[in-house]
Structure 1
Amino acid sequence: MDLLLIIKAIILGLVEGLTEFAPVSSTGHMIIVDDMWLRSKDFLGKYGANTFKVVIQLGSILAVVVTFKDRFIDLLGLGRVFNKNSIKSGGRLKLTQVIVGLIPAGIFGVLLEDYIDEHLFSTETVLIGLVIGAVFMIIADRFGPKNPKIQSVDQITYKQAFTVGLIQCLSLWPGFSRSGSTISGGVLLGMSHRAAADFTFIMAVPIMAGASFLSLVKNWQYIELSALPFFIAGFISAFVFALLSIRFFLKLIDRIKLLPFAIYRIVLAFIIYIVFFL
């Protein structure tokens, strides 16, 4: 196993872990990564870039599960099995509310998957998504209530869950960002930034896990014994950095809000424009 490939796997896992759940668009970052490494023959031809992306994404998903383990135990009704008390804070978020939030993007994602893959996965569309998504985040910070009534995911209603799910459909446009759209939507609906972020991360697990599983099945042939150190390095890297990123983000989001991430997205779009078009 080439040591350089292991180092590449760790760096790519770092990029995935730090950007997947922050509202900065992991797709925008992966475009740069694709151009640097994933399209190279040694990487793509031998192991399959798509398979590797799925594997490191699974590392990020595991980080969310670990961070919200008590919440997921409660949602699945497994508190007694693990000797955990149910989470109580002005009610309790229900699994059915999460499912309601998943329905819109699930339906549109299936219906539009081929169209998105064929027509929207380009540098130009990602640039548009980065900038428009940043504007949406700025609007949320500007016009969201100063003293939001919903301070916890346990206070979210079915209507709000469904509406956030509808807004999440914006993230089907590459570069818009799942967390950027849903957190912004939640804030505009009267949630605190932290409550909106918690709901976003909880909803992300079944969506990402399902999509990753399907993709993994399609690309299973690339996972060979000789490639395991490479995949494992990327998986662990993505897990560790996603875990750090999520915990750091959740501690700060109510204080710094979305504006710094919006500015970063605009700067990233500018960099991508220079790299690819000038």
Structure 2
Amino acid sequence: MGDLINAIIMGIVEGLTEFLPVSSTGHLILTAELLNFTGDRAKTFEVVIQFGAVLAVLVLYRKRFVKLLNFKIGNGSGLNALHILLAMAPAGIFAVLLHSLIKDYLFRPQTVLIGLIAGGILMIIADRVKKKPAAEELDDISYKQAFAIGCFQVLSLWPGFSRSGSTISGGMLFGTSQKAAAEFTFIVSVPIMAGASGIDLLKSREFLTLSDLPLFLIGLLAAFIVGMIAVVTFINMMKKIKLSWFAYYRFALAALFSFIIL
């Protein structure tokens, strides 16, 4: 029963934080420490529940993804497959080259705290020096902006930095609105997360057992349900609040956990 409760808690944390600029990886690492839910089995579980968050975006933006399959590219075509490829390329290349290094040295509470603080500082900078949006809506994002957002996504390879925090900040610094950058981040996150999680799952297949199937499914379902709620809520929030508010939350979280785990 203890593991099932842990699965629900971890699934909720994943779904709630994956698309907020607060670092889902950081929250999962810190939550796992508090629950004492660690080890190879727990790490494999964390990989599995990320698919729940991916599924949430696929369901909510299903019409967008169907449109992307047309591979219509060119001026006036709105968001298309080339935007996604340009945004994926930088982080994808670095992830392949540095995968082992990141997993071995950065997935620990101390580095997460550094990422939370550094990412928060970036978000405050983006809020204060952002350009007047040239891209108010998702379909207004240019290829140059897509690539710039992709370059900022590289920062999210450091656990605690946050994929959405990095990419939304990058979008704002290069002339997109908060809302457009957030929606673009959600869509780009699907192939990135699916690919990264798929690689991790393949490497961790020896820790997958039939007896753990209920545990993994419950966590995945919790991440999916909460993820759908979080995405819709966050998009509405982006119309009303500043990115800096999430930065202050990150600072408070880092301070709290520095006392608990360090």
TM-score range, shorter chain: over 0.9
1:63 alignment counterpart: 56
Matches within 5 A, 1:53-132: 53-77=46-70, 91-132=77-118
Match of 2:11 in 1: 13
The whole-number CA distance in structure 2 between the counterparts of 1:119 and 1:215 is 16
Q: 2:198 aligns with which of 213, 219, 231?
A: 213
Which letter maps to 1:101?
A: A
1:38 shift after superposition:
5.0
Cα distance, 1:113–1:223 mapped onto 2, change above 3 Å = closer
Q: 1 CA distance for matches of 2:217 and 2:15?
A: 14
Return the offset for 1:4: 2.9
Counterpart in the other structure of 1:245 = 230
Distance apart, 1:185 and its partner CA = 0.5
Q: 5+ unaligned residues in a row in structure 1: which ranges? A: 79-85
Name the counterpart of 1:36: 34
Offset at 1:127?
1.3
What's the CA shift for 1:242? 0.7
Equivalent residue for 2:149?
A: 164
- Partner SS, residue 160 of structure 2: coil
Counterpart in 2 of 1:25?
23
Residue number in structure 2 paired with 1:83: none
Deviations 1:71-104 (A, max 9, x none): 00100129xxxxxxx9xxx641110111011111
Q: TM-score, normalised by structure 2?
A: 0.93
8 Å CA contact 1:20–1:26 kept in 2: the answer is yes
Matched letter for residue 70 of structure 1: K
RMSD across aligned positions (CA): 1.8
Could you tell me which residue of structure 1 aligns to residue 122 of structure 2? 136
CA deviation string 1:207-238 (max 9, x = no partner): 10011111222222333332221111111000
Separation in 2 of the partners of 1:55 and 1:172? Answer: 18
User: In 2, are the aligned partners of 1:38 and 1:49 still within 8 Å (CA)?
Assistant: no
Identity %: 49
Gapped regions of structure 2 (runs ≥ 5): none
Q: Distance in 2 between matches of 1:215 and 1:167?
A: 22
Residues 181-211 of structure 1, C-alpha deviation per residue, up to 9 Å, x if partnerless?
0000101111010100011111100010011
Matches of 1:55 and 1:117 in 2, distance apart? 16
The alignment's TM-score, normalised by the length of structure 1, stands at: 0.88
User: How many aligned residue pairs are there?
Assistant: 259
Secondary structure of 1:255 counterpart: coil
CA drift of 1:121 comes to 2.6
Q: Is the 8 A contact 1:192 1:254 kept in 2?
A: no
